[in-house]
Amino acid sequence: MKTKINALIVVEGKTDIDFLSSFIDADFYSVNGSSVSKKDFDFINNYLSRGKVIVLTDPDFPGIQIRNKINLNCKGVLNSFVRKEVSIKHNKVGVAESNKEEILSALKNSQKFDELNKGNLTNYDLFELGLNGNDDSFKKRKYLTEYFHLGFANSKTLLKRLNMLNISKEEIMEVIKNVK
């Protein structure tokens, strides 16, 4: 039985739709790769006025660029992230190379990045927490982004996403205290 999701799921291509539609009942929209157009933004914004839109792109550089363009031009979309390490098959990285459990978990933990909802974390806070400038910063950032379902992020992107979700320094300290 397919999982019903009342939303438009925006993906990069047809293979993503073929894979997802095998176990998800939802509306799908493909931006046909990294050439996201005004027509795509218009369609997504039109759908947003009627219902939820979830962006589910590949965990690679082109996928990040597509997601960023959509978030910039379509306010109010939800973002779902699959982990790169479980989304690789035959030397390809992507949504279609992931698995059902990873996809459903990503969709369940969709995040809405709201630039109006600004937290007050600073780069110095990230430094104090060991999330940048230390030998184990990458490991801590990776753990934190997986915990909050933020997708892969460098320090600058992490700071922006944490502030958009209004996540406090105390919450972060609690999450990363056991990272070794």
pLDDT at 74: 95
pLDDT at 116: 64
Closest CA to 162 of 133, 123, 136: 123
Instruction: Report pLDDT digits (tens) over 39-68.
Output: 999 999 999 999 999 999 999 999 999 999
Q: Tokens in use for 41? A: 């933004």
pLDDT at 29: 97
What's the pTM value of the predicted model, to 2 decimals? 0.84
Calpha distance 14→31 (Å, rounded)? 9
Return the SS3 of 180: coil
Calpha distance 92→4 (Å, rounded)? 28
pLDDT at 92: 92
DSSP 69-121: HHHHHSTT-EEE---GGGSEETTEESSTTS-HHHHHHHHHT-B---TTS----
CB atoms closer than 10 angstroms to residue 8? 21
Q: Tokens in use for 23? A: 């176990």
pLDDT at 113: 82
Paired with 160 in beta bridges are: none
Instruction: Report pLDDT digits (tens) over 154-163.
Output: 999 999 999 9
Q: Tokens in use for 4? A: 């019903």
User: What parts of the chain have a pLDDT lower than 50?
Assistant: none
